[in-house]
Structure 1
């Protein structure tokens, strides 16, 4: 992982160091600097946000011969290096998502000239990913963000290669747990797994946020925690069902969820605990923790809360709230019509004396 200097505006990779002399800064690459066997000291370009800088770093690291500085790989390197100084900061979750999506771009066109990329090429890549619309849409978002950054004053691109390329239609979102699956969890989950389950079910938060929740995140009867993925800070009411569960939890520093060794859970570690429980309980086949996010949204919708209110409580965009609630709303509307028709028929029915 690249290290971050306190006085730097970009993250420098291992082996790269900065020297300030007479109010000017210079960059060098030296493998093994500070050890008994340092490597050759190689001068780098002065601008760590330029494609030339990162091309020189790659050559100094011995990652192949000369690489054109106008390639898609060089452009992606420069874009990622510029993240710390963007006017609109990217969350760590967005950065990770963009890196993963740009890896697809690199595999497709990494060594090709960036200025030669056209919308027809992007559309062809989108079509090749049609079986995974979420992956395709993520790639398009990352490429579009990079392209807009590269145009204008930076003059790294002349045109937006994503112009006219549209997202695939989004699906219904993660499938909510069925009533049978909820009953199964209510009856079988214990200990830390039960804590995680009730927190997700009644707050609608992601695993990455649940593992960080603690008593200090409570704000006047609700949780106020900045979401790791989006940076949004919702206010999640602590509903009576969750409050009853929390009444037996010990009050101590640190997160609610701890491993047997007393350390906090990571997202992946909690996923493993859930996977192990799912293997033992056939009723949970196909259920994923994110489905509890859908359960929370639908529950609030059926309780009469508006989409903007749910968005504020869960920290989810209104379009995503609508997507999760679409089936439940249609079902409720159809049942209301059926009930009205049934009552009307009973009222008009002729009764014999």
Structure 2
């Protein structure tokens, strides 16, 4: 007999027919015409039992269902799950801390927008249109829009390579920012003179060190006195390529009079033993460099000149080439690849070395001091 015990008022039917085999349950369903039909399942394996209860055929099906191995439930990974998996991947762990933090911040937006999307949702054509809609919402800040999309592209590409998606609809999303090439940008002699005339002592030390070494901004904050040996050689592994080309540069500080004087005048009054510090003895940070660079350009009247701090590195390379350094000699200072054009040139057999670096600095010293011959600069010191 039916009984009403459901909170929603639904009629709950209790099976009152022939006794069911052990492990078999009965479920009722009321059809649109008002009639009731019954379905029978094995409780453990959830196997459907066909036929009439009490018959031999029904009992045999129930016995066979006892031996059916239950299939594990298939977990459908969502986009939020993919974000979690990527954050635990070696591809994410090998990135710089700043890159990881930026990526994880954007992942929060992705989870909020598409967190419940499964692979089948991301593999349909409409998902590409949704990516365009997301990008366009940030059209007022094109650089941010492009950063968001590139982060999503990295995530989806990673998931596609691992077979978690049928198709990657994030490929070739056009950028919004009009990113101009800064090829050929540098520091002109006039700009150099204005910077040196208006710079504070700690800023000038930072500028000269960057100009002579071409070391990137983030690395300048980490160069320490321990990186220089007793003979005056600074050996530096560039962080940007530390895990790829493992580019190491060598700087014979004694080979250029201006560099030797700069090293001798640098204060050593900070607990972290960093070479480059502000006047208070605190090591430079990337944030501090960015803020001070803007203020310095303002003092020098160069705000409209479109000069980036990274242009100092570009000018260092240009100075080396102007001093008639070979590509290999310049690369020994800047850390760039040597002979990667694939044309079979002799330079593909060359690697960065102290000899190349010293030859580069000899030429640069002669270029910076025309009255001093490069031949008179001290040669590699013997240990």
For normalisation by structure 2, the TM-score amounts to 0.52
Q: Residues 260 and 221 (structure 1 numbering): CA distance in 2 closer, same or farther, change over 3 Å?
A: closer
| Aligned equivalent of 2:180, options 136, 160, 171 | 171
2:277 paired with 1:277: no
2:94 paired with 1:89: yes
> Partners in 1 of 2:178 and 2:339 — Cα distance?
13
| Aligned equivalent of 1:79, options 64, 86, 99 | 86
Larger Rg: 2
2:159 paired with 1:150: yes
| Aligned equivalent of 1:225, options 236, 249, 257 | 236
> Could you tell me whether the CA contact under 8 Å between 2:294 and 2:303 is conserved in 1?
no
Question: How far 1:298 sits from its partner (Å)?
Answer: 1.9
Q: Which residue matches 1:267?
A: 286
> Partners in 1 of 2:120 and 2:332 — Cα distance?
42
Task: Tell me how large the CA RMSD over aligned residues is.
Answer: 4.2
SS where residue 265 of structure 2 aligns?
coil
| Aligned equivalent of 1:116, options 121, 124, 133 | 121
> Partners in 2 of 1:318 and 1:121 — Cα distance?
42
> Could you tell me whether the CA contact under 8 Å between 1:215 and 1:256 is conserved in 2?
yes
Gaps of 5+ in 2: 1-74, 341-383
Question: How far 1:107 sits from its partner (Å)?
Answer: 6.9
2:254 paired with 1:254: no
Q: Which residue matches 1:215?
A: 225
Question: How far 1:78 sits from its partner (Å)?
Answer: 2.4
Question: How far 1:198 sits from its partner (Å)?
Answer: 0.9
Q: Which residue matches 1:202?
A: 212
Question: How many aligned positions are there?
Answer: 251
Gaps of 5+ in 1: 1-67, 321-353
Q: Which residue matches 2:64?
A: none
SS where residue 225 of structure 1 aligns?
strand
SS where residue 234 of structure 2 aligns?
strand
